[in-house]
Copies of this chain bind each other. A is one copy, B any other.
Amino acid sequence: MKKILAVFITALLLSACGKNEPPLPKDASAAETPAKVYNWKMVTTWPPNFPIFQTGVEQFAKDIKTMSNGRLNIKVYAGGELVPPLQTFDAVSSGTVQMGHGGAYYWAGKIPAAQFFTSVPFGMNAQGMNSWMYYGGGLDLWRETYAPHGLVPFPMGNTGVQMGGWFNKKINTVDDLKGLKMRLPGLGGKVLAKAGGNPVLMAGGEIYTALERGVIDATEWVGPFHDERLGLYRAAKYYYYPGWHEPGSVMELIVNKKAWDSLPNDLKMIVEKAADSTNVRMLAEFEAKNLDALEDLKAKGVEVLKFPTAVTDELKKLAQTVFEEEAAKDPGFNKVYGAFKAFQEKNTQWNAISESAYAEVLKK
């Protein structure tokens, strides 16, 4: 009897427990089974605590944790904490970590076309880049370009128009660039070389000392806020604008394709929207901090000067030559260059009668 009763009770328990469960709301499938928790790692190309760049990425991870109710936990490592900064691409591509943040142009050695997804000399500003990315086919091209590397890219931040750099002599003509040793990486450096200058590659941490000791004659960095923090105003007299070499640098989020595919739709959308949010807020933060830093730098006696039109006109022509040469060498570069150029031509026309025309009205 005891045995029979036990069996009966067990059977009753099994059936009743199911029936006693509270009804599940429709569409709330997350509640049906215990939610799977994803513990991800993310590496960046930025130094620890690097303001706006690294802090923006950390906020992104925090926001995703909140939005996902702890179901997607992203541990963020600054450059060098887990892998060296410039191994971010490989670490995400190989699946060592699931996510990375940096600039696509860092991978120009592997993928020359990647440069168009950050910024190119005389390219588009932040607003133009966003239009091209989201509604002009740019993001599709970027995904296509990264697909063979098992990566899914997203725009996630923008520096806005950068500054032209710090110089210890005035740049009155293109001839003043001849022989100039300037820290200027990437395509900008190639344009400088065409003008007779000597572009130098150098990590951020070395720039100040190199400039101060005359190892280099000039340098670009980011904009007033970051340049002031690096103390560049103590090592150079003249601060030139505009940053023709990086007029609207897009920061990238890269996600390992297999990791991405493993996410349920809600977490995918959460990542995408968090990246969009960082995209708009990072630019806003750059702008807000740059305008205060610009005032500071002026108060410190920095001479803020515009590159003469003859100089930027000449550099623009040389940039075309560089683009044509790169396009001839690499079909991927050529393809993206064509799409970028076509969009930019229309964008420049529209900008001329909207943003640019309006800015002229304000300046008067």
Contacts and interface: CB of A to CB of B under 8 A. Distances in A.
A266 interface: yes
Interface residues of A, number: 101
Contacts of A31: 30-31, 33-35
Given A242-B353, A281-B276, A127 B287 contact: yes
A29 B69 contact: yes
A241 interface: yes
Integer count of this chain's copies in the complex:
2
Given A288-B135, A354-B242, A359-B351, A34 B29 contact: no
Contact of A354 (B290, B348, B358): B290
A327 interface: no
Contacts of A273: 63, 67, 270, 273-274, 276-277
A22 interface: yes
Given A274-B273, A362-B351, A28 B287 contact: no
Contact of A270 (B133, B243, B270, B355): B270
A132 B32 CA distance: 43
A350 B34 contact: no
B241 A287 contact: no
26 contacts: A17-B17, A25-B70, A28-B34, A30-B35, A31-B31, A31-B34, A31-B35, A63-B269, A69-B266, A125-B355, A125-B359, A134-B280, A136-B288, A160-B355, A241-B353, A242-B353, A273-B273, A276-B277, A279-B280, A291-B350, A294-B346, A312-B361, A312-B364, A352-B363, A355-B355, A359-B359
